[in-house]
Amino acid sequence: MEEDIKKDRAWIEINLDNLEYNINQIRSIVNKKSEIIAVVKADAYGHGMLEISKKLNDMKIENFAVATLSEAIKLRKANIHGEIIILGYTNFDDLKYINKYDLTQTIVDYDYAKKIANMDLKEKIKCHIKINTGMNRIGESYENINKLAEVYKIEKLDVKGTFSHLCVSDSLDKDDKEFTKQQINNFMTCINKLKALGINVGKIHIQASYGILNYPELECDFVRPGIIMYGVTSELGENINIELKPVLTLKARITAIKQIKPNETVSYGRTFIANKPTKIATVSIGYADGYPRNLSNKGVKVLVNKGYAEIIGRICMDQLVIDVSNIENIKQGDIAILIGEEKEITAQKIANTSGTITNELLCRLGSRLEKIEQ
Ligand SMILES: *Cc1c(COP(=O)(O)O)cnc(C)c1O
């Protein structure tokens, strides 16, 4: 867009120093030989994939992971350097782009590899092989050593790595820890069996954010942090062994202020009824911006002029209303903070009230929100 519209109605502020801080924190706890594969899928969890990735490149991070081919191409076209791994499936018709843009594809299972083996491709496909150790989403089973051995021998594949994914590494429950240890053990045993057959498995990796937090000592070549890189944990009230600083702050403008009388109502459905004279303010953000509608009437607060104001009535598509009776000097054009580092408005707290995890909350902050570097 030609017009320079900044901080107009609702936007995200990105603190790249905090990103750097979090990366250094992650580097400080993982095994010395583990390098970071930065997970920047879903527009870097709503933080802006290109800006985040450029900063990571500046920090000597040379490995990125995305979910889709389109995300990977977008990164490469923006001159992000290093390896770009697509963690998910790429349709056969589109595999030609893997080479064209120098990308790395995940081999989702034996059948996928065999189909590629029979394709008419000019060059080898650079890839990482996914091993299923219990997540049961994608990956060839760790038990199928013979099938796996066949995959590594496929001429059309240029295997650079082998990985798996943990499904309860966030839980400190005894059984869940046992399950995770079993997954890690099955992965490592599978790797060793393949090596014993003379197979080069490439670089190995299994830890996402909670694998890093709860099993930092693993000796893998890579770790794959997503959510913790952005400075938040997935859920509320977790005790973790590193300090994280949130990278994202969500802000919006106050667009109108008015006084309502007792028994007047606010917003659709008239779910909020004033029981006393109330000063209210309208904020220009809504569920179309990714701020969840199910936060309506839950006592959720936003920060305005250093004071907390509660959201009242139903959150609309583009707007919401807050009770500012206790906020002084509030005026049209002031700024409300909806997600930030303050206790009542952390991503963890907001996600929890919305019945989800921060990963979902953040990655759904929509394309309509402009992203501004702090
Ligand atoms: C999304 C994803 C990650 C990052 O997950 P976080 O929990 O956000 O750290 C790592 N690995 C795989 C395979 C993923 O799909």
Per residue in 209-219, pLDDT tens?
999 999 999 99
Give me ligand 1 centre to Cα 144, in Å.
24
Residue nearest to atom 7 of ligand 1 (CA): 209
Mean pLDDT of 94-99: 97
**Which residue has its alpha carbon closest to ligand 1 atom 11?**
208
Mean pLDDT, range 316-329, rounded to an integer: 97
* 50, amino acid identity: L
Residue 369 Cα distances to 100, 168, 285, 286, angstroms: 32, 33, 9, 11
pLDDT of residue 3: 84
Q: pLDDT at position 226, please?
A: 98
d(CA 188, CA 177): 16
Ligand 1 centroid to Cα of residue 165, in Å, is: 8
* Residue 285 pLDDT grade (very low, low, confident, very high; cuts 50, 70, 90): very high
Distance 21 CA to ligand 1 centre (A): 20
Q: Counting atoms of ligand 1 from 1, which one is nearest the CA of 67? A: 15
Give pLDDT tens digits for 12-29.
999 999 999 999 999 999
Annotated catalytic residues are 41, 268
Could you tell which of 224, 233, 244 is best to mutate to test the pocket of ligand 1, judged by most ligand atoms within 8 Å of the CB? Answer: 224
- The structure tokens listed for 75 are 């990164």
Ligand 1, residue 212: give the atom nearest the CA. Answer: 9
The residue written with tokens 């995200």 in the block is 12
Nearest to 127 by CA among 143, 148, 105, 146: 105
Per-residue confidence (pLDDT) for residue 136, from 0 to 100: 98
In ligand 1, which atom is closest to the CA atom of 45? 8
Residues with CB under 6 A from ligand 1: 39, 41, 87, 165, 208-209, 224-227, 359
How much is the average pLDDT of 91-101?
Answer: 97
Q: How confident is the model at residue 1 (pLDDT cuts 50, 70, 90)?
A: low
Q: Rounded to whole angstroms, how far apart are CA atoms 127 and 2?
A: 40
Distance, in Å, from the CA atom of 207 to the CA atom of 213, rounded to the nearest integer, reads 9
Q: How many whole angstroms from 139 Cα to the centroid of ligand 1?
A: 15
Decide: pTM greater than 0.95: yes
How remote is the CA of residue 133 from the centroid of ligand 1, in Å? 15
> How much distance in Å is there from the Cα of 132 to the middle of ligand 1?
15
Ligand 1: residue whose CA is nearest its atom 6: 226
Cβ neighbours for 207, distance < 8 A, ≥ 6 positions apart: 30, 34, 166, 169, 215, 218, 220, 223, 224
What is the share, in percent, of the chain residues with pLDDT greater than 90? 96
Taking the C-alpha atoms of residue 212 and residue 30, their distance in angstroms, rounded to an integer, is 7
Instruction: Print burial letters for 212-251: b (CB count within 10 Å at least 16), e (below 16).
Output: bbbbbebebbbbbbbbbbbbbbbeeeeeeeeebbbbbbbb
With a CB cutoff of 8 Å and minimum separation 6, the contacts of 191 are 162, 201, 204
Q: Terminal CA-to-CA distance of the chain, rounded, Å? A: 21
pLDDT digits (tens, 9 = 90+) for 58-73: 999 999 999 999 999 9
Which atom of ligand 1 is least distant from the CA of 224?
A: 10
Residue to mutate, 87, 164, 169, 360, ligand 1, most ligand atoms under 8 Å from C-beta: 87
Q: How confident is the model at residue 237 (pLDDT cuts 50, 70, 90)?
A: confident
- Residue 89, pLDDT score: 98
Calculate the average pLDDT of the chain. Answer: 97
Looking at residue 367, what is its pLDDT? Answer: 87
- Of all atoms in ligand 1, which is nearest to the CA of residue 165? 13
